[in-house]
Structure 1
Amino acid sequence: MIQLLTPTHWKDYELIDCGDFEKLERFGNVVLIRPEPQAVWSKALPQSEWQRLHNIRFKGRSATSGEWVKKNPATPDRWHVEYKNPEAAIKFRLALTSFKHVGIFPEQAVNWDYISQNVKKFKTPDPKVLNLFAYTGGASLIARAAGADTTHVDSIRQVVTWGNENQELSGLKDIRWVVEDALKFVKRELKRGKKYNGIILDPPAYGHGPNGEKWKLEDQINEMMAEVTQLLHPDEHFLILNTYSLGFSSVIVENLIRGAYPKVENLEIGELYLQATSGIKLPLGVFGKFCKHR
């Protein structure tokens, strides 16, 4: 059965409306207009309401870069938001980047809940969690806040530094920060005989490692899954695979997981979305996840 899941604990985030290749969203007290390639339908709210509500709008110079235009110059370039669920609480520093991101992907809160719930259920003391393609660390923070011994891997030093700032802001410590190509790291951990109780993968469609290594999702995800499932602790574990790619379906994700880990238990597949206050659902990637407990 394919699930449709949306975050339910976000007080500091709200998708207000989306359409015409844009989204209107609130992070804390700051309302942004950003490009959204999935929003191929019409906006539910009138353009006058978008203009009234927003504080900052992103105007793209190209498909990958642009600039932020503020209605009020006093609106900050950086601010903080918090996320809480029944198991843990974390904080993020947000910032206006030249590539339209602000430092978090709000739909991932569904996966954060799954991580913290499973970490709390583990009977293994100090369960080990590995977060690959980890960006600014939402999954790493929630795993650590729930009590996991956490390793965070990303190929871009600046976002790893950003994740470390989020750790300090959240009152956490001792996350292991690694700047490396994800597949190279996994292969090295296998040689070392390492095992993890939890593994999170949120790979981009395209990317580069710190030494120019190339990543293309459809070319390398099968190899990655075959390698990474060997790192799972056999008795107690969870794994999350999340993909944001217009060409990937949840059935593809299911086939990848079953092929790499035939003894999978409690497999869930589906699509993440954000529910707009205006009534529209914004799809934001497909996932597959599974867990095993003693």
Structure 2
Amino acid sequence: MESIVSQDRLPIGREHELLISLEAAGLGPEEAQAVIESRNNILATKVVNFIRQHGFEPTTPQRIARHIMGRENFLGVEHAIECFGGVNLTKKQLLKLAEVPYSEATLEQYKDSHVLVAVPPISILDMEKSEGKYPFAWRTDDWYKNQPFAKKRGQVGWHLIRKGLVSDSVGKPWSQQKKLLGENEEIPEARVILYTDIGLQSLAESFFFGELAYCADTASSKNGVFQIFIGYFGLEQLRIDGTKHKEMEWEGVGKLTPSAFIPHRVPGRIGLFSAIKPNQ
């Protein structure tokens, strides 16, 4: 393990505060000497890495999953804590994330086409509050802010999300799109897709999805029930919108589908997001 060399020395007052905190936590002469004498500064490096991970240490199943998926296709628990400072996971939630609900064989099968994500209980509105940290613009249309799907924080859990859209789903009617899913696939929620996109942007500075695609969520108004779709519209501008259910069957290639909530029309070529179902 390589030692970490700080580029900037701590002010003397801050060093004193750090020492007081460590002593209050039980650091004594023996522990301090062990750190000082540690070969290649290994103990100090471990402490600094632990702090950088916000006190979280991945379990063995998580380490295996990370190794299989690779850095660019894995968003772990520490990412949730670091990316959204307001996310505080309880011991029970961390325990639930300790086990990854996919076999090693499944992860090997989908390691190139999917991304494994530990999603905290966080809503679309929660994520919107952090918009300044990410390279996209939220549309000013706020129709969804009173909709249940935008407020829903959901349960903490792992998700194996397809990178991109279901093959050959773009422009097909809703009933045909759903038939393209395999027995082990499901349609993910909008909050999960959006969280995944934000996470991958922070890793690779590239967009996870670009085309418009349907999620599992629905919204309702006096005009009926609408299926939610999200994607980018124009120059890196996030769009959250919906299509009226009765209009989803005649949506086709080249046709324009009326926006459910925003007063202008959008291309009708909308695809479908998918995810692998976790082990039961």
Q: TM-score, normalised by structure 1?
A: 0.27
Give the structure-2-normalised TM-score: 0.27
Hey, which of these two has a bigger chunk of strand by percent? 1
Q: Which one has a bigger Cα radius of gyration?
A: 2
